[in-house]
Amino acid sequence: MTQLKPILTHLDSIPSTPGKFKPDKSSPYSLYRLRFHPTLFPRFTLWSFLFIFFIVLFFFFSTPTNPTTGNNRRSLKNTVSPTLELGPNWERRVRASARTRSKTGFTVLVTGAAGFVGTHVSLALKRRGDGVLGLDNFNHYYDVGLKKARQGLLERSGIMVVDGDINDAVLLRKLFDVVAFTHVMHMAAQAGVRYAMQNPGSYVHSNIAGFVTLLEACKMANPQPSIVWASSSSVYGLNSKVPFSEKDRTDQPASLYAATKKAGEEIAHTYNHIHGLSITGLRFFTVYGPWGRPDMAYFFFTKDILRGKEIKIFETSDHGSVARDFTYVDDVVKGCLAALDTAKKSTGSGGKKKGAAQLRIYNLGNTKPVPVGRLVSILEKLLKVKAKKKVIQMPRNGDVPFTHANITLAHNELGYKPTTDLEMGLKKFVKWYVNYYGSKKKKSAWLLIFNFKNDEK
């Protein structure tokens, strides 16, 4: 990290907060002929049953690859959280964290609270006086140390993060028994497009099964909470119409991740229609910023540039630029809070719908796509290091060549208006990156050189 010291001296300090089947009777292989072989049908039925039985067992009891086996350092540890030590002291801590500072404040359960966006949303809610309780399973998709550091940040702000899994129905019921949540901010998910090719089961486990388990807890709660949850711009998949609008088709996912998020949107519609849950989905467009995810390009580009390692920049098959609608995390947080503030109450009770309930979906993007090459140029400028670049064709791993958000609906109904351009947002990210990954010895010296308060003036 020898490259880190000079970076601080030139960065501004900017705070961040079907039809029926008809057998062909003319065929010599039709089921009609089975009548002449009385021993064939029972064997066929037995082996079919056994085959289906073992397939079901595989899907229900298979777990993601153990992180301690093989060389896949990004395998997940996705175990159901043990509901242990949930005694009176634990309940007191849960209630204290969820306690509001005003009569009009919300009581919010934030899933994925130790994640990137979940941390920022939790802090913003707490700052304005809402009661916040976090839930996170701290899986091993990326550095758990970073997640624990975020947890520390939250705890210093009075936010408890329960170490648990959204698939743990017992734990969820317990949380809803202890606290009458007015809202659920569902940020927990298995993220990442490319990782789905290595560990597809983790996406179904978290993004589909986990979402259903959470919605089941919400439908049985009394009162039912209003729900705001993180979908993704990935649902637009192979859509070529730009910018992407909420009215556009989303039935051509380019990755399993996108497919699970689209499934989430359909599941949300079902629970809204049958059980009266008020649900708002937010399609995030390439969120970046301090405390970000190490698997994102801007993050690992920064790391590799500083280490003098070669970075790979994707281009399309016709040598065109790959572009993303990079959206700064603070802008996304404002959209999340606006969705929460405008969410109407759920209408069900005891799992039964009493009336029509609110169902919404919004794009949260910056609506200004930027080529990835431009992203690299900005990082080179901020880091004062020339990147070792290698341009390669984008692999067929689920990525799409571009994203571009139409945010008209979010602007009109939520007042959503992003204000941070890519260069300003990356400046804030680099400042955080240097501080977080700098050595402890150098850190105190750097803080003397780089006076945050003076730079804010």
Indicate the residue type of 416.
Y
Indicate the residue type of 271.
Y
Token pair in block for residue 381: 């400028």
Whole-angstrom distance, CA of residue 232 vs CA of residue 71:
30
Helix axes 169-178, 211-220, angle to 10 degrees: 40
Token pair in block for residue 221: 């709660």
Whole-angstrom distance, CA of residue 175 vs CA of residue 105:
19
**Any idea what DSSP says for residue 195?**
G
Helix axes 116-127, 144-156, angle to 10 degrees: 0
Q: Torsion angle of alpha carbons 6, 7, 12, 14, nearest 10°?
A: -130
Clarify whether 328 is annotated catalytic.
no
Indicate the residue type of 153.
L
**Dihedral pair phi/psi, residue 352, rounded to 5°:** -110, 135
Q: In angstroms, how far is the first alpha carbon of the chain from the final one?
A: 29
Whole-angstrom distance, CA of residue 1 vs CA of residue 292:
19
Burial 117-155 (b: 16+ CB within 10 A, else e): bbbbbbbbbbeeebbbbbbbbbbbbbeeebbeebbebbe
Rg (the chain; Cα; Å): 24
Whole-angstrom distance, CA of residue 426 vs CA of residue 418:
15
Length, in residues, of the chain? 457
Q: Which residue has the tokens 């708002």?
A: 280
Task: Considering the candidates 257, 298, 416, 433, report the single residue annotated as catalytic.
Answer: 257
In whole angstroms, how far apart are CA 431 and each of 5, 11, 12, 97, 119? 11, 7, 8, 30, 18
Contact between 370 and 323 (Cβ < 8 Å): yes
In whole angstroms, how far apart are CA 154 and each of 72, 78, 135? 30, 23, 12
Question: Which residues carry out catalysis?
Answer: 257
